[in-house]
Amino acid sequence: MKEVIAVIRVNRINQTKKALLDAGFPSFTGLKAMGRGRKSVDFQVMEAMEQSGSLSETPDILTTIGQGGRLIPKRYLSIAVPDERVKKLVDILIKTNRTKEAGDGKIFVLPLNNVHRVRTGESGETALDEMAV
């Protein structure tokens, strides 16, 4: 079993929930998180540059005007899935969240030793929610 953690844009959460449901991943845990990525950008400088048009001429400059790292609101999803469904889940997450801009987020796949269902006390793969599509 694996735990798939996705940190995605706030405005993509509804699309993602729907896509996951359609693909048979109904269960997930969601959190509101703040985050910053590898590229941190001084927003005021960037805005000023965008207005003056110099941003399109020198796109490389974005990495050099980094500031103390401003935090951006994100949504954090944690989904437990059996090994064989990881690939499908990752594909769906990438497909629904990809705008090709920096800031789309990250997906992490972590090993998960065991799962217990509190209601019945079962453990292992049978405790995972599976919805056949």
Summarize as ranges the residues that interact with other proteins (CB under 8 A): 2, 6-8, 31-40, 66, 68-69, 71, 74, 76, 86, 90, 93-94, 97-111
- C-beta neighbour count of 112 within 10 angstroms: 15
Q: What is the rounded CA–CA span in Å between residue 93 and residue 84?
A: 16
How near is the Cβ of 35 to other proteins at its closest, in Å?
Answer: 4
In this structure, are residues 96 and 19 in contact, taking their beta carbons and an 8 Å threshold?
Answer: yes
Nearer CB in complex with other proteins: 24/103: 103
Q: What is the rounded CA–CA span in Å between residue 130 and residue 133?
A: 9
How near is the Cβ of 38 to other proteins at its closest, in Å?
Answer: 5
Q: What is the rounded CA–CA span in Å between residue 45 and residue 30?
A: 33
How near is the Cβ of 12 to other proteins at its closest, in Å?
Answer: 9
Nearer CB in complex with other proteins: 87/117: 87
Token output for 64: 């050099």
How near is the Cβ of 57 to other proteins at its closest, in Å?
Answer: 22
Q: What is the rounded CA–CA span in Å between residue 66 and residue 56?
A: 17
